[in-house]
Structure formats: structure tokens, C-alpha cells
Structure 1
Amino acid sequence: MVTMRLCVFGANGPTGRLVTGQALDEGHRVTAFTRHPADFPLEHPRLRVAGGDVADPDAVTDAVDGQDAVLSVLGVPYSKDPITVYSVGAEHVTAAMHRTGVDRLVAVTSSVVEPNPNRVGGFLFERVLQPYVVNKLGRTLYDDMRRCEAIIRNSGLDWTVVRPSGLFTAPAVSRYTVAPGHGIGRFTARVDLADCLLRELGEGGHHRQAVAVLTTEGTPSLASMMWREAVASKH
């Protein structure tokens, strides 16, 4: 891949740190946009850490200006209150890209935004875990992700939306799968998601499409994922 100047929004999250590190390893120049620049753990001669909030359109424009592409890996915890980070971020990022002449955008949402019409997870997953996560635990979050996707689709930019499934930690990039629309699987390693985002920037990327990214090796059990979601809902 040709080296690029990349701006990563949500750079201080678990996936954001991974994709920033992988991009630097591949020779890219990275602007890591985060609300907490002093806490950002990475240092590199080709890294610029930009402090700011996606709710601030001027800060977003300053970060986007001069880039070749933008990666959005924004993320917030589940909440019963309304969530607007994804949609507001999409609004301000796409507007900034138009103002500065940057065209390529790769953004992360979730497979929950458009569930697979085929049954791929078994009774417990399909009838218990997924409805609880989608309709109760993460309802306000996924509603905002849908608004975010609509903004991106209507932006007129060269976009790709990447939809992971249940995220987990893995030590290294695996032979994951990427498929337009839906794929077969329930889990995505964050390291695979980060790698997929960078691959989508290349010539083989899925332009103006939503794609599923799924890990098929070393995935967690459904029981461990249910436990993780239950604990997450209390913190």
C-alpha cells in the first residue's frame, strides 16, 4: 500500500490505538484525534496527537486538513440516555472533509445496525443475547450508529462502513473474513478490525459499501461473551 497521511478519530479507544500503531508500522503518517491527548500512550516521529472533541467542528476541521484519508473508530459505552457521538461525529467529520478536499472515509459501526437475516448464532444467541443487547442494553447506541451510517451514505464522499460483530482481544492479526453486507460469524478481534480498516484504504477496498468483518479463529465462547456483556452493563 502507498503510504498516506491519516486522521484517526477515536484514536484513544482500544481499536483506535491498534489501528494507529498498525498504521505507523506500515509507514503512514497519523494524526490521532482524542479528547485526552495527555493520556495517549503511543509516540512516534510520524505521529501527531491532536486534542479535541468531535462535537467541535473547528477542531475536527483542523485535524482533517491536509490528510489523504480519515478513519473513524469512535466509541462510547452503552447508556440508557440518548447517544449522539456517532451521528454528530459523522456530521462534523464529513463536513470537514468537504471543506478541506479530503474524500476517503472508512468508519466503524456494528453488525447490529443491519442484522443478518439468516440465523447464524443458535437459539441462545438469536433469542436471548442478541435481543437483550440490541433492544435494551445498547438501544440508544445502535440508534445513533444508524443515524451515523445515514449521514455517511448521503455525504457524497468515497466511504466504506465496516461492521464488526462481538469484539474481543486477540494477540495477532488472523485470517479474518470480509464480506459486503453480512458474513457468517459472531465475533471480531479488535486487531483484525484494525487491520481491515487499513486494508480498506487500498485499491481493493469496498468503495461506497458496508462490509462485515469477522474473525474465524480463536474466538471466545458464547458464555464468556454473555458474561462480558453482563459485566459491562454494570460499569
Structure 2
Amino acid sequence: MKLTVLGASGGVGRQLVTHALADGHEVTAALRSPEKLAERHERLTVVRADALDVASVRKVVDGADAVLSGIGQAGRHDPLRPASTSARAVVDAMAATGVRRLLVVSAGPLNRAGAGQPVLTRKVFGPLLWVVLREVYADLERMEAVLRGSGLDWTSVRPPRLLDKPGRGRYRRAVEAGPAGATIARADVARAMLDFVADPQTYGRAVGISN
């Protein structure tokens, strides 16, 4: 498949590029600073693009079979609201180019009902994280609202705390529930997103994942 990865220099974005190439896909890696991505491959095209600008995004998604986004806030406060702003740009660009499959990274605490999660996570850690990271999660909620109204075949992947460690190559998943565990390696988030590309059970759904 031809895949476009937005935010390709980020923690999950880099893993998406590496895993997609290992799976044999053709990858367009889009990022504002192409020099930040050192990886080179005959099936990899690295392009400069602004994920918050619809005209810029349109150029990199045109002709793709699926778009995978690792865009999100780098810190607790970001006036650009990158998750929701990029979602609007991507949805508009995909509508203009006829591309339908979109997968994004969200966060486990958006499962406010706590379905499929341990009691301690549901009643203690989840509410506490909302107090500390309210702006981050509010931006992700806006992003998911954009997706739900888009008419696209979208999937929002909701991991718990992300770790920079070797992936296990496996993960737990729960559609419109979870994540069941407290952590997951970024490599396994990428693995899940790529696995979900052709999985219709994840279309139009938020999926909790964890190790």
C-alpha cells in the first residue's frame, strides 16, 4: 500500500515509518523539518509539509491508500491545538483528494466512562490525568469530534502512557473501551495502527490499546 505518515519525526511517527517500510509499504513521510528524519529507503519519500495547513496536507495525501497521523501536543500547553487543527486540515484534504482511510493517535483517558479499564485507572488515575493534562486531552477530544463528523473511514487509537523501549510486537485491543494496561511501547502503537489499516472492525471507532 501507499501510506502517508504525518508527524513522521515524532516518537510514534518514526516508528510508523520504520514498521511500514519493514512491512513492504511505500511511505511518504511528511514533516515540517525533513532533516529530522534520518531514515532513508528506496520506498521512502521524505517531504516538507505543514500538517496544520490543508493545502500543504493535500499534496502529501493525494494518491495514498491510507493516512496515519502521529500529530499531537509536544507539551501541556500549545496554543496551536495541533491535534484538532491538523485533523481539520487532514479531513478537508482527504475529502478533496478522495482518500478515505485515516488513523490517528489519541489517548486512553478519553475513555471517560472507563469501560474495559481497571478500577484504579477508572476512578483515580484517569481523573487525575485530566486535571494535569486537561488542555492536551481537550485538544484530542476536539480531534475525535472532527473525525466522527468527517464521513471518512477513521480510527482513533487510544494508548496509555507511552514508553521508549523495544516493542513486544503484540498488544491488547478493545474497541470503544480500554486500554486495559497502564503502558505501551511506541513501537507497539505503530504496530497496532498498521495492523488496523485494513481492519474494518476499527473503522469509525476509537480503539484502546496497551501492552
Same fold, TM-score > 0.5, yes or no: yes
Q: RMSD of the alignment, in Å?
A: 1.9
Give the CA deviation at 1:126. 4.5
The one of 130, 135, 138 equivalent to 2:131 is 135
Report the equivalent of 1:101: 98
User: What is the match of residue 120 of structure 1?
Assistant: 118
| 2:49 aligned with 1:58 | no
Match of 1:151 among 125, 146, 149: 146
Q: Structure 1 residues 65 and 46 mapped into 2: Cα distance closer, same or farther (>3 Å)?
A: same
Q: Distance in 2 between matches of 1:133 and 1:73?
A: 20
**Partner SS state of residue 185, structure 1:** coil
Unaligned runs of 5+ in 2: none
List alignment gaps of at least 5 residues for structure 1: 216-235
Partner of 1:171: 166
Give CA-to-partner distance per residue, 1:22-69, whole Å, 9 cap, x none: 000111011111111012121011111111212222110001111111
Aligned pairs (5 A) from 1:22-101: 22-80=19-77, 82-101=79-98
Q: Provide the TM-score with structure 1 as the length reference.
A: 0.83
Q: TM-score, length-normalised on structure 2?
A: 0.91
Identify which range, 85-94 or 170-179, moves more after superposition. Answer: 170-179
Given that 1:19 and 1:195 are in contact with CA atoms closer than 8 Å, whether structure 2 keeps it comes out as yes
Q: Is the 8 A contact 2:12 2:70 kept in 1?
A: yes
Give the 3-state SS of the residue equivalent to 2:87 in structure 1.
helix
CA displacement at 1:146 relative to structure 2: 0.3
Please say if residues 83 and 144 of structure 1, whose CA atoms lie closer than 8 Å, have aligned partners that are also in contact: no
Alpha-carbon distance between aligned partners in 2 of 1:114 and 1:96, rounded to the nearest angstrom: 28
Query: 1:83: how far off?
Result: 4.7
1:206 CA drift (Å): 1.2
Query: 2: distance between equivalents of 1:209 and 1:55?
Result: 23
Alpha-carbon separation, structure 1, partners of 2:54 and 2:117: 41
CA apart distance, 1:14:
0.9
Q: Which amino acid aligns with 1:17?
A: R
CA shift, 1:169, in A, is 2.2
What SS does structure 2 have at the residue aligned with 1:107? strand
Which moves more between the two structures, 31-40 or 79-88? 79-88
Distance 1:203 1:146, change over 3 A: closer
Residues of 2 paired with 1:81 and 1:145: CA distance? Answer: 12
Identity of aligned residues (%): 37
- How many angstroms apart in 1 are the aligned matches of 2:172 and 2:116? 17
CA distance in 1 between counterparts of 2:78 and 2:152 reads 31
Counterpart mapping for 1:211-222 below 5 A = 211-215=207-211
Three-state SS of the structure 1 residue aligned to 2:96 is helix
Is the 1:186–1:214 Cα contact (8 Å) retained in structure 2?
yes
Larger Rg computed on CA atoms: 1
The answer as to whether partners of 1:54 and 1:60 remain within 8 angstroms in 2 is yes
Residue 11 of structure 2 aligns with an amino acid whose one-letter code is P
Q: Is the 8 A contact 1:199 1:205 kept in 2?
A: no
What CA deviation, in whole Å up to 9, does each residue of 1:152-194 have, x standing for no partner?
A: 1110011111100111123133431111122322112111110
Q: 1:81: Cα distance to partner? A: 5.1
